[in-house]
Structure 1
Amino acid sequence: MSKLIKYFRWYDYLLITLTIILTFLRVGFDLTLPDLMADIVSVVIENGSRSEIFSIGLEMLLYTVLAVISVFFISFLSSKVAARFANILRRKMYEKVQSFSAEEMNDFSVASLITRTTNDIQQVQNLVVSSLRMALRAPILAVGAIIKIWGRSSSLTLVTGISIFLIVVVITFIFIKVGPKFKIVQENIDDLNLVTRENLTGLREVRAHNAEEYQKEKFERVNEKLTNTNIYVNRILMMMHPFMNLILSGTSLAIVWVGAYLISQNSINLPTMMAFSQYAVQTVMGFMMLTITLMMFPRSFVSARRVSEVLQTKAKINSPLEPVTKTGETGTIEFKDVSFRHKDAEEYILKNINLKINKGETIGFIGSTGSGKSTLINLILRFYDVSEGTLFINGQNIKDYPLEQLHDLVGYIPQRAILFSGTIASNLRLGKKDASEEEMLQALKTADMDKFIKRQEDGLQYKVSRAGQNFSGGQKQRLSIARGIIKQREFFVFDDTFSALDNKTDSRVRKNLIKHIKGATTLIVSQRVGTIMNSDKIVVLDKGEIVGFGTHRELLKENKIYQEIASSQLSKENL
């Protein structure tokens, strides 16, 4: 939690200071009431006048009203501080996750990041609220009440001290039992979110394979684990309430019993005993409130640590401190002795890649599954950094480019088309913020989606539902292509982009692209020979190595792996 305190703003500290002052005032008002009550009893015993009783009663009413006003402002200020703090944490979490490379995303699962951004930050917000409302008041009240009773009666003070000792014992026992379980609860919530997300995302596949029972059992296992842990924690916590009530009631009874004996011995009088009884109860109540608050702390601290883990994680891929200096070279990519492997992995995914791509060339990449095609593309986009060797963009080390500038150079169209809820226009403007209607229509025409738009009354304002569920796979892919090409860039990367298109549509779109992105350096990753056979050069990858480089005709003659791939897909006439 200490690492998150820095996210409080300076004006939050002013509000916290004001909350502390109001808490002291409230406790002062509360601690004044028992003495006033004792004064009323003394007046009654001494047969005082009604005006004296009325005057003391008005004074008690005044202090009560002031205490209520203090409570109102304490609640308002603490809620405001906590809500704003949670808002800042959510924003910082979002910004941090946006800066993560693929490597950091692998360290935290998506389900875990969702839990940390929602449930964990909510726990931290609850911690701030309870700290300012209860945890702050409890020790002040307890200490203030102890000061009030100190020296009035050693016997009654001993009774109160025994009660406090018993509370401490109960607190310690509960902390030892439930403290470690709160971390397990949050991890179980992560697992539950993961299973739920998988099931909802793959609902069609689950139904298609009649795997409902399997997924149900999987969910039940995780749900049962979370439920059992929660039951264990709640059972232990529920033990606290009867014990606390027993201690509180026992304290009141003991004070009355001991006080009655002391009164019979003329050691104290009745008003003193009544005041002492109320102060003792306030002392015990202070410790009880502190206990209730402390019960929330373990889980909140676990959540705070989980949030802090994300915020303290340093992105391994960052923009350089010094901006790139232009070399005069444009549209070129060069791999020099590039190798890549994931963190902690023993085997390399890419090995000794040496490749020079010149401006305006169209380069195709093909290979079996797992040959490293997409990984190579990810290096160009700097989703990962090379493990060995150097990757040059326009003659400059890719690490010297600010990430925003690098991504502005490359138009990336992935295999999995992602659409965002909104309209077709809003999705296209993710590729170019200030795209005109004419530019959007041209991009859609290139992607062979113009006819679909013309059939819709809303045109470019046609609604896109969540994840583009109201579009077919091919339509989503073509919209993704339109978004990727709407802005003229030096490089375009198509990572198995045409896989969701039929052969005729694939052919039309690629012909349109030749005109639309003329002059740009184009990289096409595909499993289909027909998609890349007209490329200027084709790179054949196998087990992370380049095993072939040349034109379609050259590779058919010289490269055995390419021959096998091509012959398995195309007839002799098409070859």
Structure 2
Amino acid sequence: MGDLVLIRLLRTHLRPYRQELTIVLVLQLIGTVASLYLPSLNADIIDFGVVRGDTGYILKTGGWMLTVTVLQILCSGGAVFFSARAAMGFGRDVRAAVFSRVGQFSAREVAQFGAPSLITRTTNDVQQVQLLVVLVCTVLVTAPIMCVAGIVLALREDVGLSWLLLVCVPVLLIAIGLIVTRMVPQFRLMQERIDQVNRVLREQLSGIRVVRAFVRERAETQRFGAANTTLTDTALRVGRLQALIFPTVMLILNASSVAVLWFGSHRVDAGEMQIGALTAFLNYLLQILASVMMATFISIMIPRAAVCAERLNEVLDTESSVRPPLAPVRELRAHGQVEFRGVEFRYPGAAEPVLRDISFQARAGTTTAIVGSTGAGKTTLLSLVPRLIDVTAGEVLVDGVDVRELDPDVLWQRIGLVPQRAYLFTGTVASNLRYGNPDATDEELWEALEIAQAKDFVEAMTGGLEATIAQGGTNVSGGQRQRLAIARALVRRPEVYLFDDSFSALDLATDAALRRALRPHTRDAAVVVVAQRVSTILDADRILVLDNGSIVGAGTHHELLATCPTYQEIVHSQLTPEEAA
């Protein structure tokens, strides 16, 4: 199964490099013919030059051998060049295909594979298949031709020693086959162990502050050590099997050479064979066994490459649960309106839905707040609007059109999302803000920063808008990351704002100032806010209370205080009676 998947992957992504592969094939054929011609010339020098003492014949034939050798070197060098070119292009295309497919995944598929595994597949797995492509181009063409032609030419030199071929070649094939079959499951296990090490390392680097805060360095070191040890043990088992191949090959190779010399010398002594023919037969036998040995390189790489190809195809063959529409709607009449109609969302295999029978509208110029206990489904609900995930029942409409029927670019241009975890990219403050609008001017950036209460600390940073931002925004505080993420959404000037608990890292004064500054900027847009702090959404036009995936209350703050027990519990747990009133 793995071999078929590997062949399919190679056939699909090597198609653009047919020209390079054709050149490699031609060069390998010429080089192989030259290599097979050399033992015959060597035999002629011994039998017709050395034995007869004909120096002129020796020089003439030796010069011809030198010419053939130079041709062989040029063909080999050219074949390696073009095969490497094809292999590097293949690796680039496969990485691009995997990256493109992962970019289409919803949050469900990303969680299914896991970020560390996707990284390993895009890097290590592609590299293993890429290495196989180089070996296939440089070895796979040469090995079978040299093996078959070598047998024919060896028999032409002397049929009496042909039985050695019938013994040596099958013995070598059986010995290598037994070793390789034991390597296949170990290769699969090794890729899984690499995933595990990457996962542990990623968790430790991402959660380094938590590790240090709870003084868990020793425990995390032990956890990484356990994962590292399992990978090392698996790699050692694979290494032992690989190390066994070459002594086995050399043993059979040397035993075959001794056998040819032993039995061939008796035939020379009996006058049934010439010395040059014996030398040529030995060379051809060594070439035959060398071709088998070269094929072992392929046999070593194929199992691991097949496992890697399976893992790559798992990604490439996985369709996103968020599929683009067949006939996308590109024009909308209404502006800034979000509507949920009987929405349900259920994870595959889950006994109960995360969301059930969710229906509400968020109109332009209004603020709709969503509150609820942890795990109530608030973030899941918000993720349905930009199609990070898709509903399993019901409809989510933006400006009167089901988001599943909207052109993705049209949908995303109308939405400004500030996620629960504010993420910044490596670059500058300006490059991160222009992520929402590449054409934004510096004045627009400063305006967005001022509204997001981020202008002061950006001005204090070295370089201002050109200040460096580290990967993930780790060189700024959590509150600063949130404000920069809010500014990024403001720069886009969308018609629908989605704030997923985007004010949690702000102090109350900054929170209040930011919300005051936001009102005039978002007065013509629909604003949907997920909040943990009730104080953030007291003045919302409408508040939805989620409990266990269902809406258990809807209304203004004062209406819910009078009618919704769940909302009353949330409010009383955070505010005093005077603040709640």
Fold shared by both chains (TM-score > 0.5): yes
Structure 1 stretch 563-572 or stretch 189-198: which is displaced more?
563-572
1:66 is matched with: 71
Match of 1:278 in 2: 283
Amino acid corresponding to residue 340 of structure 1 in structure 2? F
Of 250, 269, 278 in structure 1, the residue corresponding to residue 274 of structure 2 is 269
Maintained 8 Å contact 1:330/1:394: yes
Q: Which residue of 2 aligns with 1:26?
A: 31
Q: Cα offset for 1:105?
A: 1.0
Q: Which residue of 2 aligns with 1:486?
A: 491
Of the three residues 434, 438, 443, the one matched with 1:429 is 434
Letter in 1 for 2:48: V
Who is 1:93 aligned against?
A: 98
Return the offset for 1:108.
0.8
Measured after TM superposition, the shift of residue 422 of structure 1 is: 0.8
**1:177 matches 2:176:** no
Q: Deviations over 1:272-329 (max 9, x none)?
A: 1111111111111111111122111110111111112111211221221212265633
Q: How does 1:219-258 map to 2 (within 5 A)?
A: 219-258=224-263
**Partners of 1:96 and 1:311 within 8 A in 2:** yes
Deviation larger for 550-559 or 356-365:
356-365
Distance in 2, Cα, partners of 1:369 & 1:11: 51
Shift of 1:396: 1.5
Match of 2:416 in 1: 411
Question: 1:60-88 CA distances to partner (integer Å, 9 max, x unpaired)?
Answer: 11011111111111111111110011011
Letter in 2 for 1:153: D
Q: Does 1:303 align with 2:316?
A: no
Counterparts of 1:356 and 1:13 in 2: how far apart (Å)?
56
Could you tell me the percent identity over the aligned residues? 37
C-alpha displacement at 1:151, in angstroms?
Answer: 4.5
> Structure 1 CA distance, aligned partners of 2:213 and 2:16?
56
Of 453, 456, 459, the match for 1:454: 459
Hey, what does 1:523 align to over in structure 2?
528
Contact 1:7 1:88 in 2 (8 A): no
Is the Cα–Cα contact under 8 Å of residues 115 and 190 in structure 1 kept in the other structure? yes
Pairing 1:374–2:374 present: no
Residue 13 of structure 1 aligns with an amino acid whose one-letter code is R
Q: Which residue of 2 aligns with 1:168?
A: 173
Q: Using the TM superposition, give the Cα deviation of residue 134 of structure 1 relative to its aligned residue in structure 2, in angstroms.
A: 1.6
Aligned residue number for residue 15 of structure 1 = 20
Judge conservation of contact 1:38–1:271 (CA < 8 Å) in 2.
Answer: yes
Alignment-mate amino acid for residue 403 of structure 1: P
SS in 2 for 1:360: coil
Distance 1:86 1:464 in 2: 31
Q: Say whether residues 1:392 and 2:379 are aligned partners.
A: no
Quote the residue 2:551 is aligned against.
Answer: 546
- Is 1:321 the counterpart of 2:314? The answer is no
Residues of 1 paired with 2:62 and 2:549: CA distance? 87
RMSD (Å) for aligned C-alpha atoms: 1.4
Using the TM superposition, give the Cα deviation of residue 154 of structure 1 relative to its aligned residue in structure 2, in angstroms: 3.2
One-letter amino acid matched to 2:187: F
- The question of whether the paired residues in 1 share the 8 Å contact of 2:13 and 2:94 is answered with no
Q: Distance in 1 between matches of 2:22 and 2:246?
A: 32
Q: Which runs of 5+ in 1 are unaligned?
A: none
Q: Is the Cα–Cα contact under 8 Å of residues 341 and 358 in structure 2 kept in the other structure?
A: yes
CA–CA separation in structure 2 for the residues paired with 1:62 and 1:154: 30
TM-score if structure 2 supplies the norm length? 0.97
One-letter amino acid of the counterpart of residue 452, structure 1: F
Question: Which residue is 1:498 aligned to?
Answer: 503
Please give the per-residue CA displacement for 1:532-563, whole angstroms capped at 9, x wherever unaligned: 11000100111111011000111111111111
Match of 1:287 among 287, 292, 295: 292
Aligned ranges for residues 552-571 of structure 1 at < 5 Å? 552-571=557-576
Q: Is the 8 A contact 2:158 2:277 kept in 1?
A: no
Structure-2 separation of matches of 1:3 and 1:278: 37
Question: Which of the residues 141, 147, 153 maps onto 1:142?
Answer: 147
1:192 aligned partner: 197
Q: C-alpha distance in 1, partners of 2:10/2:296?
A: 23
Q: What letter is aligned with 1:18?
A: I
Match of 2:388 among 363, 372, 383: 383
Higher mean alpha-carbon deviation, 282-291 vs 383-392, is at: 383-392
Residue 446 and residue 235 in structure 1: after superposition, are their counterparts in 2 closer, same or farther (change >3 A)? same
Quickly say closer, same or farther: Cα 1:456–1:178, change in 2 above 3 A.
Answer: closer
In the alignment, what sits opposite 1:337?
Answer: 342
Further displaced range: 401-410 or 153-162: 153-162
Q: Secondary structure at the match of 1:500?
A: coil
Q: Give the secondary structure class of the aligned counterpart of 2:577.
A: coil
Provide the residue aligned with 2:3 in structure 1. none
In the aligned structure 2, how far is the partner of 1:459 from the partner of 1:236? 58
Alpha-carbon distance in structure 2 between the residues aligned to 1:240 and 1:351: 60
What is the identity, as a one-letter code, of the residue corresponding to 2:362?
A: I
Match of 1:75 in 2: 80
> Is the CA contact (8 Å cut-off) linking 1:318 and 1:403 kept in structure 2?
no
In structure 2, what residue type is equivalent to 1:396?
A: V
Offset of 1:129 from its aligned partner? 0.4
> What CA distance in whole angstroms lies between the structure 2 residues aligned with 1:199 and 1:212?
9
Write the distance in 2 (CA, Å) between the matches of 1:351 and 1:199.
Answer: 36
Partner of 1:155: helix, strand, or coil?
coil
Equivalents in 1 of 2:304, 2:509: separation in Å? 58
The more displaced of 267-276 and 525-534 is: 267-276
2:578 aligns to what? 573
CA deviations 1:115-149 (Å, max 9, x no partner) are 00000000011000011112221111111111101
1:55 to 57, 60, 77: 60
CA distance in structure 2 between the partners assigned to 1:345 and 1:12 by the alignment: 45
CA contact under 8 A between 2:49 and 2:57: conserved in structure 1?
no
Q: 1:121 aligns with which of 119, 122, 126?
A: 126
Contact residue 3 and residue 308 of structure 1 kept, 8 A:
no
Do the aligned partners of 1:333 and 1:356 also contact (CA within 8 Å) in 2?
A: yes
Distance of aligned partners of 1:509 and 1:49 in 2 relative to their CA distance in 1, 3 Å threshold: same
Distance 1:171 1:400, change over 3 A: same
Q: Could you give the per-residue CA deviations for residues 382-411 of structure 1, whole angstroms, max 9, x where no partner exists?
A: 111111122222121221112221111110
| Corresponding residue for residue 471 of structure 1 | 476
Alignment check: 8 A CA contact 1:349 1:543 kept: yes
C-alpha distance in 2, partners of 1:38/1:263?
A: 14
Cα deviation code 1:329-366 (max 9, x no counterpart)? 33222222111111111111111112122222101110
Larger CA deviation: 362-371 vs 214-223: 214-223
Which region of structure 1 is more displaced relative to structure 2, 233-242 or 4-13? Answer: 4-13
Tell me the SS of whatever aligns to 1:365.
Answer: strand
The secondary structure found in structure 2 opposite 1:249 is: helix
Matches of 1:323 and 1:165, distance apart in 2: 61
Letter paired with 1:470: N
Contact 2:497 2:526 survives alignment (8 Å): yes
Code of the residue aligned with 1:328 in structure 2: it is: R
How far apart are the structure 1 equivalents of 2:475 and 2:404?
40
Cα distance in 1 for residues equivalent to 2:296 and 2:125: 21
Cα deviation for residue 429 of structure 1 reads 0.4
Distance (whole Å) between structure 1 residues aligned to residue 414 and residue 169 of structure 2: 68
Of 110, 116, 126, 2:115 maps to: 110
